[in-house]
C-alpha cells in the first residue's frame, strides 16, 4: 500500500490526443459516504486501470490495514467499483474476472489461485449502480463492476457469461491478511481481482486518467464508499488526486 505522503504525484507524459494506451493507478482513502459514520481506521483500496486498444483491464485490490469500528465480515469485502467512461464510450463485453497475481481464493474458493475465474460472482453494467452510485447519487457511476444484483434499473451481465444471479458480498475482495476471518460458507479473494472488458471506442491517455481519477469503490452492502484524494473535478486537479500515470512506449 502506498503511504499517504506518496499520493500527491503528478501525471507523467500524458498526450492530449494519443490513444495508444496507458496505465493509471489510483488509491482510495477518502470517505465518500455510506452507512458507516466511524473513522476509516485504515480502510483502503487501489485500482490499476490499463488500456490497450479497446481492451481495458482493471486490477482491483483491497489494501486495508484496518477496519472501521462496528464492521462485520460482510462489510470488510470490497464489492464494487464504479466509474464513468467518456460520452459515447461504453462497455461492449466483460471478457473475464480472474484472481490477480499473487492473490488467492478463500473459504469455498480456497482451491483457486492466480488466473482462476471468479466471474460467476461479479457482474458489470453501463446503467449506473445501486445506492449512492445511482444516477444523481453522491458518487454516481454509470459503469459498475459489482458482486450485487441491485445495480440500477438497467441490464447487468455476469463476467463469466452466465445468466444466473450473483450473491454479494460473497465473491468480494478482502485484504492480505484478512482483517476478519471468513466463515467456511463464504467466497472471497485476498487481495486482488483482474477485470477485463472490451470498450466501444478508444480512450486517450487523458481520458483514462479522468476515468480512474473519478472512480469510486464500495465496501459491504452500502456500508462505505471511498474515492481518491481529492475527487477530481477536472484534469487540472489530477496532479494531487493520488494518481500515478504511466504512458506506454510506442
pLDDT in tens, 131-158: 999 999 999 999 999 999 888 778 999 9
Give 221's strand partners. Answer: none
Residue 69 · residue 216 · CB < 8 Å: no
Buried b (16+ CB within 10 A) or exposed e, 170-197: bbbbbbbebbeebeeebbbbbbbbbbbb
Q: How far apart are CA 147 and CA 165, in angstroms?
A: 9
- The angle at the Cα of 144, spanning 215 to 128, to the nearest 5 degrees, equals 100
What are the boundaries of each domain within the chain? 4-247
**Could you tell me the three cell numbers for 245?**
500515470
Q: How far apart are CA 196 and CA 30, in angstroms?
A: 26
What does pTM read for this prediction?
Answer: 0.87
Amino acid 244: pLDDT: 53
Amino acid 206: pLDDT: 95
Q: Classify 101 in phi/psi space as left (phi over 0), alpha (psi -120 to 50) or beta.
A: beta
Amino acid 184: pLDDT: 93
Residue identified by cell 460458507 is 185
Q: Which of 51, 43, 57, 2 is nearest to 26 (CA)?
A: 2
Residue 79 · residue 149 · CB < 8 Å: no
Residues of the chain with pLDDT under 50: 1-18, 231-242, 247-250
Amino acid 4: pLDDT: 32
Residue 117 carries which DSSP code?
Answer: B
Q: How far apart are CA 16 and CA 89, in angstroms?
A: 17
Reported as a single tens digit per residue, the pLDDT across 85-107 is: 999 999 999 999 999 999 999 99
- 3-state SS class at 217: strand
- 3-state SS class at 99: strand
Amino acid 237: pLDDT: 36
H or E element, residue 207: helix 205-213
- 3-state SS class at 219: strand
Amino acid 243: pLDDT: 53
Q: How far apart are CA 165 and CA 150, in angstroms?
A: 10
Distance from CA of residue 174 to its chain's centroid? 13
Q: How far apart are CA 114 and CA 103, in angstroms?
A: 6
Amino acid 6: pLDDT: 33
Q: Which of 153, 136, 159, 133 is nearest to 144 (CA)?
A: 133
Amino acid at each position: 500500500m502506498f503511504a499517504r505522503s506518496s499520493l500527491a504525484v503528478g501525471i507523467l507524459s500524458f498526450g492530449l490526443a494519443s490513444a495508444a494506451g496507458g496505465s493509471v493507478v489510483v488509491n482510495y482513502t477518502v470517505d465518500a459516504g455510506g452507512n458507516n459514520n466511524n473513522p476509516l481506521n485504515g480502510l483502503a483500496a487501489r485500482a490499476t486501470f490499463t488500456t490497450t486498444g479497446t481492451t481495458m483491464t482493471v486490477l482491483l485490490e483491497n489494501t486495508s490495514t484496518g477496519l472501521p469500528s462496528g464492521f462485520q465480515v460482510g462489510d470488510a469485502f470490497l464489492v464494487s467499483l464504479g466509474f464513468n467512461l467518456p460520452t459515447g464510450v461504453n462497455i461492449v463485453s466483460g471478457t473475464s474476472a480472474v484472481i490477480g497475481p499473487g492473490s488467492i481464493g478463500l473459504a469455498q474458493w480456497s482451491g483457486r489461485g492466480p488466473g482462476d475465474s471468479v466471474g460467476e460472482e461479479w457482474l458489470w453494467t453501463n446503467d449506473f449502480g445501486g445506492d449512492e452510485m445511482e444516477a444523481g447519487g453522491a458518487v454516481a457511476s454509470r459503469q459498475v463492476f459489482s458482486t450485487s444484483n441491485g445495480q440500477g434499473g438497467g441490464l447487468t451481465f455476469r463476467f463469466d457469461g452466465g445468466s444466473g444471479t450473483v450473491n454479494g458480498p460473497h465473491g468480494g475482495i478482502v485484504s492480505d491478511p484478512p482483517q476478519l476471518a471468513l466463515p467456511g460458507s463464504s467466497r472471497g479473494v485476498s487481495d486482488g481481482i483482474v477485470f477485463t472488458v472490451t470498450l466501444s471506442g478508444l480512450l486517450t491517455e487523458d481520458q483514462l486518467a479522468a476515468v480512474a481519477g473519478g472512480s469510486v469503490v464500495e465496501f459491504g452492502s452500502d456500508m462505505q464508499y471511498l474515492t481518491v484524494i481529492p475527487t477530481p473535478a477536472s484534469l487540472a486537479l489530477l496532479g494531487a488526486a493520488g494518481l500515478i500515470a504511466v504512458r506506454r512506449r510506442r
